[in-house]
């Protein structure tokens, strides 16, 4: 009788399973997902810094109110990290969800960039280790003493940090 024996079929199935496992490990889907989330973060940080700078140009060199003052109306301190939020008061913000931001009320409301048409909506970081929303975007801003702005992601999965300064 012609055909394949059970042993031959099992050997072929085992070889196919081994090849599939090797390919799956080589492609490393977890790393690909982390890279994809980091790519979104880079894009969001770039869009925010570009919107801030275009707004500054349109306002004859002055930054938007939300960049100069935090959500409690206090002037932003150079070198301090502020969570980017759409919260209008400090009660809508718990900035310490981002490890880099020291105080719970250190938030800036950059929704003015949305209402003025510089961005469609405030970007929200893809959820990796953190859980982000419009009130806690997963991005923070540092106003530097030289007048430049740094936008940074609270988390980066496959790179040291995600930040742009202009």
Query: Domain-by-domain residue ranges, the chain?
Result: 6-165
Residue 108 near residue 70 (C-beta atoms within 8 A): yes
At 82-126, the pLDDT tens digits run: 999 887 766 667 767 788 888 777 889 999 999 999 999 999 999
Cα–Cα distance measured from residue 104 to residue 1, given in angstroms and rounded to the nearest whole number: 78
Type and span of the H or E element at 68? helix 65-68
At 33-76, the pLDDT tens digits run: 999 999 999 999 999 999 999 999 999 999 999 889 988 888 99
């Amino acid at each position: 009788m012609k055909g394949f024996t059970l042993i031959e079929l099992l050997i072929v199935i085992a070889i196919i399973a081994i090849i599939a496992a090797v390919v799956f490990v080589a492609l490393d889907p977890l790393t690909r997902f982390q890279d994809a989330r980091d790519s979104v973060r880079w894009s969001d940080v770039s869009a925010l810094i570009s919107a801030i700078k275009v707004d500054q140009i349109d306002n004859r060199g002055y930054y938007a109110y939300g960049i100069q003052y935090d959500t409690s109306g206090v002037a932003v301190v150079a070198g301090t990290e502020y969570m980017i939020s759409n919260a209008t008061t400090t009660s809508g913000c718990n900035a310490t969800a981002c490890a880099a931001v020291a105080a719970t009320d250190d938030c800036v409301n950059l929704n003015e960039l949305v209402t003025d048409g510089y961005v469609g909506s405030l970007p929200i970081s893809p959820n990796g280790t953190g859980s982000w929303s419009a009130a806690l975007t997963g991005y923070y801003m540092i106003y530097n003493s030289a007048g430049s702005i740094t936008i940074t992601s609270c988390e980066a999965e496959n790179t040291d940090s995600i930040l742009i300064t202009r």
